[in-house]
């Protein structure tokens, strides 16, 4: 029997109910592993909350150091605002960098798999039927540009962006320059700006697609009408 004040070592039951003593290092490692469970961290403050708490702690510390004088208070306020500004810029840069990288990586209009305008239209219609408007807008804009390439109004150029395609097509088809700019703005908003798109935005690009299929370049004269009779 142990004497008063003694504490037994931590033990666990092994096979057959035989106590197994757990060493200090093993117990520490087991506790560390257990605390990595996400269930223990659901209520942890967010990155922004931790940053704001840190800023407020720094501000309180500065107030304690400068005392209650008016000059010291103004100095502390200026320093606090500067620290807050720097913290905000750091947070903006930290959170904005992945989005900027994703936008740069996805700047090209088409992916590696080449599809025809008809295939892009069919994909757009499937997305529209499922009310997946952002995907529908993207595929319909790709159909617009691919159709212009198939008609040789635009040359096929790998890596072309939607903005470049709209600008080039607008010079050849000036009557459709404004609708092209609006369409590419919608494409950019849904593809890079995170907007969900809607039925109205999709229909506007679909109408533009239909109109462009009938459009002729400004430099190409319309075919002359042929009559049955000869010249007068």
Q: What is the 3-state secondary structure (H, E, C) of the chain?
A: CCCCCCCCCCEEECHHHCEEECCHHHHHHHHHHHHCCHHHHCCCCCHHHHHHHHHHHHHHHHHHHHCCCHHHHHHHHHHHHHHHHHHHHHHHHHHHHHHHHHHHHCCCCCCCCCCCHHHHHHHHHHHHHCCCHHHHHHHHHHHHHHHHHHCCCCCCCCCCCHHHHHHHHHHHCHHHHHHHHHHHHHHHHHHCCCCCCCHHHHHHHHHHHHHHHHCCCCCCCCCCCCCCCCCC
The phi-psi region of residue 16 (left if phi > 0; otherwise alpha if psi is between -120 and 50; otherwise beta) is: left
What does the pLDDT read at residue 170?
A: 92
What does the pLDDT read at residue 69?
A: 57
How crowded is residue 148: how many other Cβ atoms within 10 Å of its Cβ? Answer: 26
CA distance linking residue 225 with residue 220, whole number of Å: 15
What does the pLDDT read at residue 32?
A: 66
What does the pLDDT read at residue 232?
A: 43
What does the pLDDT read at residue 3?
A: 47
What does the pLDDT read at residue 105?
A: 39
What does the pLDDT read at residue 216?
A: 87
- Residue 7, CA distances (Å) to 2, 4, 17, 21 in order: 8, 9, 21, 13
Judge if pTM exceeds 0.85: no
Question: Can you say how many angstroms the Cα of residue 227 is from the centroid of all Cα atoms in its chain?
Answer: 58
What does the pLDDT read at residue 45?
A: 66
CA distance linking residue 199 with residue 75, whole number of Å: 55
Residues of the chain with pLDDT under 50: 1-10, 97-98, 100-106, 221-225, 228-232
């Amino acid at each position: 029997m142990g004497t008063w004040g003694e504490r037994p070592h931590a033990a666990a039951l092994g096979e057959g109910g035989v106590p197994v003593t757990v060493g200090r290092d093993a117990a520490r490692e087991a506790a560390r592993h257990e605390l990595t469970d996400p269930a223990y961290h659901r209520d942890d403050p967010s990155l922004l909350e931790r940053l704001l708490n840190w800023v407020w702690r720094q501000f309180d510390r500065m107030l304690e150091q400068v005392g209650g004088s008016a000059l010291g208070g103004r100095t502390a306020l200026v320093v606090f605002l500067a620290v807050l500004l720097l913290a905000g810029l750091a947070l903006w840069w930290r959170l904005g960098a992945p989005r900027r990288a994703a936008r740069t990586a996805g700047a090209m209009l088409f992916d590696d798999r080449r599809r025809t305008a008809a295939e892009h239209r069919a994909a757009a219609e499937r997305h529209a039927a499922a009310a997946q408007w952002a995907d529908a807008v993207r595929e319909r804009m790709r159909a617009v540009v691919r159709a212009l390439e198939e008609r040789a109004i635009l040359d096929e150029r790998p890596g072309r962006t939607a903005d470049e395609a709209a600008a080039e097509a607008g010079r050849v088809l000036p009557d459709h320059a404004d609708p092209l700019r609006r369409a590419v703005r919608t494409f950019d908003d849904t593809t890079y700006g995170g907007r969900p798109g809607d039925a109205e935005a999709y229909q506007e690009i679909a109408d533009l697609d239909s109109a462009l299929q009938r459009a002729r370049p400004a430099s190409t004269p319309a075919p002359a009408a042929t009559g049955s009779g000869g010249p007068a």
